[in-house]
Structure 1
Amino acid sequence: MATPAAAHAPVPPLAADVTAFSLGRLGAATGGLLGLAAVVIAVLALRRPAGRLAVAGGSLGAKAAVGAGLVATALGVLVAATAGGGLGTGNGLGGAYVALLLGLTGAALGRRALHRTRHTR
């Protein structure tokens, strides 16, 4: 008995391969790392006074944290808006949410540190 050729057609996968690194994953990973850096710099700016050896302290660190946080947030929004499929499909949507969260946190903490450095002078 012969079966139709359509019955044996390969089914396209619903999710990306685990080892594949798509543009969505790259953008989400970049945004997540940038957001993490923003949070770390903002915390250092909040904890350390501005000094000669404190690179992340003072207004420079606070401005860097705000800038990095905003860029990470923008990357997270871009990847989340263009990702096809839902969470777990390999398009970077989960990483985009992490980038959004870390970016907003880093920007908020950086703004707080910037506000503190302006009012302590």
Structure 2
Amino acid sequence: MKMKLVSFVILCTLLLVPTIASAEVTNGSIGFGLTPGRLGAIVAAVVGLISMVIGGLSLARSAGRIGIGNGRAGAIVAAVVGLIGIVLAGLHLANSNGGFGTGNGRAGAIVAIMVGLTGMVLAGLTLARSSRTG
């Protein structure tokens, strides 16, 4: 199981690094690379991704695929971490000025909100399953 998780993290890193490296600011004043806006959106997205991983693992545990138990504790952690990711992304989205493609991370914040919501949905599914079987 740990090998699958390590493989997943390596795959996500390999997919994320070229995207960050090729990010371009359209106004030309900053150039290529990470801007503070993009960095804030990436942090929120990583927190949401952690929520998705924990939620998926707890859902698998509640289905009896890995470990023992009903996965309820993992689901609660995934819901809290997902909520933190959504709040971070929402604050970033509210405080960023400019449109898409300006380096402010607005699109990344929207993606981070969706990733955090997905983690919370996985947590909710786990909690629903654990209340039926427990």
Which TM-score band (shorter chain)?
0.7 to 0.9
Aligned to 1:17: 31
Cα displacement (A) at 1:118: 2.1
Gaps of 5+ in 2: 1-25
Cα displacement (A) at 1:90: 0.4
Cα displacement (A) at 1:50: 8.7
Under a length normalisation based on structure 2, what TM-score does the superposition of the two structures give?
0.69
Q: Distance in 2 between matches of 1:20 and 1:62?
A: 33
Q: Which has the higher helix share?
A: 2
Q: Distance in 2 between matches of 1:14 and 1:93?
A: 15
Task: Say whether residues 1:62 and 2:75 are aligned partners.
Answer: yes
Please say which structure displays the higher CA radius of gyration.
1
Q: Alignment RMSD, CA only?
A: 2.5
User: CA 1:49–1:113 in 2, change beyond 3 Å: closer, same or farther?
Assistant: closer
In the alignment, is the contact (CA less than 8 A) between 1:38 and 1:69 conserved in 2? yes
User: What do the CA deviations read for 1:42-61 (whole angstroms, capped 9, x no partner)?
Assistant: 1111112499x849x61111
Aligned to 2:110: 97
The number of residues matched between the two structures is 107
Moved over 4 A (4+): none
Aligned to 2:86: 73
